């Protein structure tokens, strides 16, 4: 499981290396965007609760705030996990060098995987949310 976690990080890193920029490190951008995408994936996992929790149960005062706060907590947990694992422990150096060596000459294919993950995650979220809102 950790290999998938690291592979997706590398693919997102490859996306950010396609554009040359000054001042911002690609490792930081990949870690930040990865935490956003992981939190979106986690929130999608909570969608089946719509069928368990009665309609309108989370709209009164204390529950609507708790729902919003729980979504922010999910994001911050993923944000700090990504920052700690990739940047603080400096695992990005090992991950990038490992995959650079392994996929030598296939940098654009890895970037395409990163772009697909970057685009499909919000698209799936929007489609599922729209479909469930009509039920």
Q: What is d(CA 10, CA 99) in angstroms, rounded to the nearest whole number?
A: 7
Number of C-beta neighbours around residue 96 at 10 A = 20
Where would I find the H helices in the chain?
2-17, 26-45, 61-82, 91-102, 107-133
70-124: pLDDT as tens digits? 999 999 999 999 999 999 999 999 999 999 999 988 989 999 999 999 999 999 9
How is residue 54 written in tokens?
């009665």
Q: For residue 111, what are its two tokens?
A: 């970037």
Q: How many domains does the chain have?
A: 1
pTM for the full predicted model: 0.87
- Residues of the domain holding 59: 2-133
């Amino acid at each position: 499981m950790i290999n998938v976690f690291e592979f997706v990080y590398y693919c997102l890193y490859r996306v950010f290396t396609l554009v040359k920029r000054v001042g911002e490190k690609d490792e930081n951008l990949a870690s930040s965007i990865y935490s956003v995408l992981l939190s979106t994936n986690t929130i999608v996992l909570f969608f089946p609760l719509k069928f368990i929790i009665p309609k309108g149960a989370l709209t009164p005062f204390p529950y609507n705030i708790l729902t919003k706060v729980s979504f922010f907590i999910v994001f911050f947990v993923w944000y700090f996990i990504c920052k700690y694992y990739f940047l603080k422990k400096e695992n990005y150096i090992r991950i990038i060098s490992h995959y650079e060596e392994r996929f030598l000459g296939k940098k654009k294919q890895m970037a395409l995987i990163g772009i697909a993950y970057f685009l499909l995650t919000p698209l799936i979220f929007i489609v599922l949310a729209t479909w469930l809102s009509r039920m």
